[in-house]
């Protein structure tokens, strides 16, 4: 089974909602919200997955509108998939591209350009890694 990336999945984060919305979600959507006391006073809030009863900060949507944790939906992080394939440079290019995008969004064009210059040699190495990996698979 092909694993889906966690970065591409739409999610609901416990930190992105306020207390009133949490009560509404808990009451009307059958999503459990658990609070845990912390050492410095106060509480930390978690969702409770309906399928495995884990305390999680993020619940992910499926195409059918079901909310579940990443373990139940078998979602993987990008870095885990590519590290297992021994594609470290491909992983680096992914993160550098994301960093460039954030810099451009925040109008730091010079910094983004400098990062792009660093990206080219890593990108070439990543292409070579993929070619080597594909040759290993084909045998």
Task: Please give the pLDDT value at position 54.
Answer: 92
Among 1-5, 29-33, 57-61, the range of highest mean pLDDT: 57-61
* Model confidence at 55: pLDDT above 90: yes
| pLDDT tens per residue, range 123-135 | 888 888 777 766 6
HEC string of the chain equals CCCEEHHHCCEEEHHHCCHHHHHHHHHHCCCEEEEEECCCCCEEEEEECCCCCCEECEEEECCCCCEECCCCCCEECHHHHHHHCCCHHHHHHHHHHHHHHHHHHCCCHHHHHHHHHHHHHHHHHHHHHHHHHHHHHHC
For the segment 104-118, the average pLDDT, to the nearest whole number, is: 87
> Is pTM beyond 0.75 here?
no
Q: CA 106 to CA 99: how far, in whole Å?
A: 11
């Amino acid at each position: 089974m092909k694993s889906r990336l966690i970065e591409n999945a739409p999610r609901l984060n416990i930190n992105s909602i306020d207390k009133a919305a949490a009560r509404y979600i808990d009451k009307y959507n059958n999503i459990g919200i658990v609070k845990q006391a912390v050492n410095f006073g106060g509480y930390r809030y978690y969702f409770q997955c309906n399928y495995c009863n884990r305390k999680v900060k993020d619940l992910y949507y499926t195409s059918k509108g079901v909310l579940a944790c990443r373990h139940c939906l078998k979602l993987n992080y990008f870095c885990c998939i590519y590290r297992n394939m021994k594609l470290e440079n491909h992983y680096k290019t992914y993160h550098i591209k994301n960093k460039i995008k954030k810099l451009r969004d925040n109008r730091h064009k010079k910094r983004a350009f400098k990062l792009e210059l660093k990206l080219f040699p890593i990108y070439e190495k990543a292409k070579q890694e993929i070619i080597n990996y594909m040759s290993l698979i084909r045998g």
